[in-house]
Amino acid sequence: MSLLTRKIRSNVGESARPYFIYKTFTFANALTVSVPEVLGSQYGMYVWPCAVVLAQYVWTMRENIQRKKVLELGAGVSLPGIVAAKCGADVTLSDSAELPLCLEHSRRCCEHNDLPGVPVVGLTWGEISPELRSLPPVDIILGSDVFYEPEDFEDVLVTISFLLRRNPSGQFWTTYQERSSDWTIETLMNKWNLQCTDVSLDVFHANKKHLAGSTLPGNHSIQMMIVTAQTMM
């Protein structure tokens, strides 16, 4: 199992007035989502290729997620979460509690798509915080590009494991960009009683250079998997 890329973020430009570039994504000519990117700011405020692929999967599974409790981790511009909310899911967005600008931007993206009521919470991976504990049991966890630095892998999986223990039938849908064949989370998955199933992109029509009417994902090597709690034998 090889992994993965995450948005690297910094607080550069916190005092500067943001300048927005709007990107539009259209799914099957039926749903259009427009999200603002903040140029010259945190990388979490850009749309990354994996987010478009995950949003495509959410759209494909739209009938299955209606009225489901959905949480997006590391949401940033929140494209997958916004698509889920537009498809009738009960969505909560989250990003690191240490990145208030990303949390503010997630709220901005929701408001721009007429979803002002979607809650946005600060969750730092690996921390069993009061905010994490206060969440209701989650049916589906979304995460695009939530793996990048190997030292972060376990923190992500600690959070996933906690959420799946609260709802053993829940699932973590994640997309990642293959960067190195030397990176693996197999041992950590076993440690935290998790298992995964790979999802082929062609199953949900995401094996394209131009997806959802955008220039993304391009020629990126993107993979998807679904993580669940290990079943007891």
pLDDT in tens, 141-159: 999 999 877 788 899 999 9
pLDDT of 16 > 60? The answer is: no
Between residues 140 and 219, the one the model is more confident about = 140
- 171-177 and 194-199 beta bridge pairing: unpaired
Question: In which region does residue 13 sit, left (phi positive, over 0), alpha (psi from -120 to 50) or beta (all else)?
Answer: left
Report pLDDT digits (tens) over 37-84: 987 656 678 899 999 999 999 999 999 999 999 999 999 999 999 999
* Tokens at 225, concatenated: 């998997």
Q: Report which secondary-structure segment, H or E, holds 65.
A: helix 62-65
Q: What are the DSSP E strand ranges found in 110-229?
A: 120-122, 140-144, 171-177, 194-199, 222-229
